[in-house]
């Protein structure tokens, strides 16, 4: 019974963190048509931002405003210098952002080196839940991620900005004709996607090894989720994250971590073959 509860909690945690990681890619790819191969590097920037805050002797929570400011600056510069010229050209954005990813990795490597870094646990200890002791930080993270997604869902459905974004995604030419500044809105959407990736890096930093190549795994996992869930809906993102995380957690517990990765890869290939638009898609 205890093992079942632990596996369920691990599944919920894996789904929540994976959904947070994928959110930025889903926003940028699903809404702007930008195949962002540098998404994993934005997650990496968040993790290294948390490392900088720790090395400065500040509390871990200071990493949140620091990384947000960093991601706003980086996101604005990348959108202004590269992305705005390539909207709705997925192959061109793939090549451009792949080169950008290499540049970001090499920049981090030049500053911090290639060796692994780590963040001190910010919320040590465990909490007893349903008869098992589970890490307190993981439980807090699950709650915060759930609240974050609920806030985004309500904001997107109820706000005027959300309505303008829907218009821009559905018909950019018509949206411009009725007075919506689609260029400015696209820039803000791109920056928001970068910021969510950075926040995911901050959230994961105390639990993972931090190195210049860590973003590659998150990029692959993110695309697996979008392949299964589909583009253009929060339901697809959460369903895809649940399927990928559930497969990985279950097979890893029964066989090995390598077996879990192979199972996820096989599942993604089957979806590309049999259901290329995913389970949910607005396209």
pLDDT digit string, tens, across residues 62-118? 999 999 999 999 999 999 999 988 877 778 888 999 999 999 999 999 999 989 998
Contacts of 109 (CB under 8 A, 6+ apart): 212
pLDDT range class, residue 230, cuts 50, 70, 90:
confident
Burial of 218 (0-12, 13-18, 19+ CB in 10 A): buried
**59 pLDDT higher than 80:** yes
Q: 113-130, pLDDT tens digit by residue? A: 989 998 987 788 888 877
Burial of 123 (0-12, 13-18, 19+ CB in 10 A): middle
d(CA 175, CA 183) in angstroms, rounded, equals 11
pLDDT range class, residue 281, cuts 50, 70, 90:
low
> How is residue 253 annotated by DSSP?
H
For residues 37 and 91, the answer to whether their CB atoms sit within 8 Å is no
39-60: burial string, b at 16+ Cβ within 10 Å, e else: bbbbbbbbbbbbbbbbeeeeeb
Higher pLDDT, 135 or 66: 66
Three-class secondary structure of residue 126 per DSSP: strand
Mean pLDDT of 157-179: 75
Mean pLDDT of 166-172: 72
The H or E element that residue 249 is part of is: helix 234-254
Give me the sign of the Cα torsion angle 80, 86, 87, 92: negative
183 token code pair: 């260029």
Q: Helix 182-204 vs helix 2-32: angle between axes, to the nearest 10 degrees?
A: 160
**pLDDT, mean over the chain:** 87
d(CA 263, CA 20) in angstroms, rounded, equals 22
Mean pLDDT of 222-237: 84
Mean pLDDT of 167-173: 72
């Amino acid at each position: 019974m205890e093992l079942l509860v632990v596996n369920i909690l691990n599944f919920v945690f894996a789904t929540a963190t994976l959904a947070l990681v994928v959110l930025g890619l889903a926003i940028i790819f699903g809404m702007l048509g930008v195949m962002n191969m540098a998404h994993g590097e934005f997650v990496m920037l968040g993790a290294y931002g948390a490392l900088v805050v720790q090395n400065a002797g500040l509390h871990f929570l200071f990493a949140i405003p620091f990384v947000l400011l960093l991601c706003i600056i980086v996101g604005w510069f990348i959108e202004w210098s590269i992305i705005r010229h390539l909207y709705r050209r997925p192959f061109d954005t793939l090549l451009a952002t792949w080169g950008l990813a290499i540049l970001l990795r090499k920049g981090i490597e030049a500053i911090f080196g290639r060796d692994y870094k780590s963040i001190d646990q910010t919320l040590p200890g465990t909490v007893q839940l349903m008869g098992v002791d589970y890490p307190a930080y993981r439980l807090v993270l699950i709650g915060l991620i759930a609240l974050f997604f609920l806030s985004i869902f309500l904001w997107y459905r109820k706000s005027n900005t959300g309505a303008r974004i829907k218009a821009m995604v559905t018909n950019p030419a018509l949206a411009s004709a009725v007075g919506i500044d689609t260029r400015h809105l696209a820039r803000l959407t791109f920056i928001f996607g970068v910021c969510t990736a950075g926040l995911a890096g901050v959230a994961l930093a105390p639990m993972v090894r931090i190195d210049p190549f860590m973003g590659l795994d998150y990029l692959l996992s993110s695309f697996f989720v979008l392949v299964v869930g589909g583009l253009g809906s929060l339901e697809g993102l959460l369903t895809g994250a649940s399927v990928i995380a559930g497969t990985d957690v279950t097979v890893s517990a029964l066989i090995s971590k390598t077996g879990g990765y192979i199972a996820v890869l096989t599942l993604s290939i089957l979806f590309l073959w049999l259901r290329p638009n995913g389970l949910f898609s607005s396209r």
